[in-house]
Structure formats: structure tokens, C-alpha cells
Structure 1
């Protein structure tokens, strides 16, 4: 079991099937808020969808391809974070995250992203961590900016969001830059 304690109030824990109901409940409660920036909400409409997501993530974790964790804030699941992809050939991990609407504004995601960056560069001994966010998603973009990531560029029409494309800003942190 993967569990990574960040501080007294905050931990990351590998997603498990027993978390499915809470994850789906949190997704459903934050659906309108999350839909502005996440393209998968229309495909997560029932508990089984969340269970399938956890099952796929567990397989990918065992194969070393990704890490999907629940964010535990005061021992309650409040969001999801991890490495959407781990590219071992290039020694790069790609952080993805979302947080339930009611948990915003407490510095949770900045602390989580910092812990994931540290874990990737020190424990996994990767060379680079990337975070990508839609150009207009200022809350998400502020996280790598606060952590000192370098803005590396913009990928045009990187993601289809329901009825339009959005550009993504790519942020990177190299092992040699991380203290």
C-alpha cells in the first residue's frame, strides 16, 4: 500500500476500490465546478465508472506507468492527485490533480504538488516533472508557479473540452533545479 504523509493534516494514498464511493460522491458534488477544466466528467456518471477508473489506475501503478492517489485532508478524501503518466525512458513524470470545490483555498493542492514533485525527483530519481494546465485555468496554473516551475511554452489546442479546444501551458521542474 502506498501512503505518503505530507504533513499532520495531509496525505496521499493509493486509490483503492473501497474509495470508489467517496471519490464518485466527491466528483458528483463538484461536477459543475470541475467540468470547466476536466474533459472526463460526462464519462463518469455512475459509481461503476469510478470503479473502472480505479481498476485501470491500479494496473498502471503495478506496471510503473502511473500513480493515482486520493488526497486525504484530515483523513477525509478531498480530491485526486498523482502522476498521470511516468515515462521511465525519459525519466519524466506528469502531475495531474483535482480537488473538491469546498476544499479550495486551503493550500492543499500546492502542498500535494510539492510532495509529488519531491517524490518523483528524489525517491523515483526522475529527471523532470511536468504540470500542464489550460491557459485560462489560473488556479491550476498558480500551483506550479508558486513552486518555482519554469513555464516552458504553450501547446495550442491541446485538449478538447466538450465543445471547444483549449491551449495548455506546460510547466517543468528539473531535478537539478529542485531543492
Structure 2
């Protein structure tokens, strides 16, 4: 079981079946907001879809392929984050995340992405972590930028979003670049980030 405490307000945990209802409710209530940048909303239309996601995620976690964690803010699930893919052969992980709109503006996702970066590079001993975001998704792009990730380039028409393609900006952090001293300033970020 994966549980990781980030600070007194924030933690990450591998979701259990008992969490399915909350995750689905949060997804459903945030559907229109999330649909602007996430392609999977049309495939998550009922509680059973979220239950299947949890089952698959737990199996993939056990096999070392992914890590999808519920984000707990003051004990309540407020979104999801984790490694959409862990490539052991190349020692690379790809972070993805979403947060219900009413919980944004508290620095939650920056702290979550920082925790996942540290976990990938320090615990899993991977060499690189990537975060990809649609070119126009400034909120999502600001997170790796805040954490000192290097903007590596743009992948044209990287993702189909319902009726159009979007380009992705790729951000990367190498293990040799992950300097805790450099990131101390992230701990002092205002909570409105």
C-alpha cells in the first residue's frame, strides 16, 4: 500500500475501492472544467468506470508500471496525481495530475508534483521525470516551471481532445539536476500558487 504524507495538510494514497464513490463524484462534478484539458472524461461516465480505474491502477502499481494516487487535502480526496507510466528500462517516469477546481489556489498541485519528483528520483532511483501539458494549459504548465523543470520542447498534435488536437510542451527533470537547495524556495511559495 502506498501512503505518502507531504505535510500536515496534504498526503497521497493508493486509492481503494471504498474511495471510488468520492473519486467519481469529484470527477463528475468537475467534468466540464476537466474536459478542457483531459481526454478521458467521456470514458468515465459511471461509478463502475472509476472502480475499474482503481483496480487497474492497483494492479499496475503492484507490477511497477504506474502509480495513481488520490490527493488528500485535510483528509479529503480532492484530485488525483501520479505516474501515468514508469519506464523501468529507461529509468523514466511521467507525472500526470488533476485537481477539482474548488481546491485550486492553495499550492496543492505544486507540492504534489514536488513530492512525486522526489519519490521518483530518490526512492525509485529513476534518472528522469517528465511532465507534459497542453501548450495552452497555463495552470498545468506553471507547476513544472515553478519546480525548475527544463522545458525540452513541443510535441505537435500530441493529444486528441474530443474534437481537436493539442500540442504538448514537455518538461523534464534529471536526477543530477534535482538539487534540494535549489527547491527550498518552493517550500516558501505562497499558498495561492
- Establish whether TM, by shorter chain, passes 0.5: yes
Give how far 1:101 is off: 1.0
CA deviations 1:44-80 (Å, max 9, x no partner) are: 1100000011111111001000001000000000000
Distance 1:59 1:23 in 2: 18
2:8 matched to which residue of 1?
A: 8
Give how far 1:15 is off: 1.3
2:27 counterpart of 1:27: yes
**What are the within-5 Å matches in structure 2 for residues 1-179 of structure 1?**
1-179=1-179
Give how far 1:108 is off: 0.1
Distance 1:15 1:159 in 2: 26
Distance 2:154 2:141 in 1: 12
Distance 2:7 2:76 in 1: 14
CA deviations 1:109-156 (Å, max 9, x no partner) are: 000000000000001000000000000000000000000000000000
Q: Which ranges in structure 1 are unaligned for 5 or more consecutive residues? A: none
Instruction: Give the TM-score taking structure 2 as reference length.
Output: 0.92
**RMSD after superposition:** 0.4
Secondary structure in 2 matching 1:159 = strand
Q: Which ranges in structure 2 are unaligned for 5 or more consecutive residues? A: 180-193
Distance 1:35 1:65 in 2: 25
Distance 1:172 1:15 in 2: 27
The number of aligned residues is 179
Distance 1:2 1:58 in 2: 10
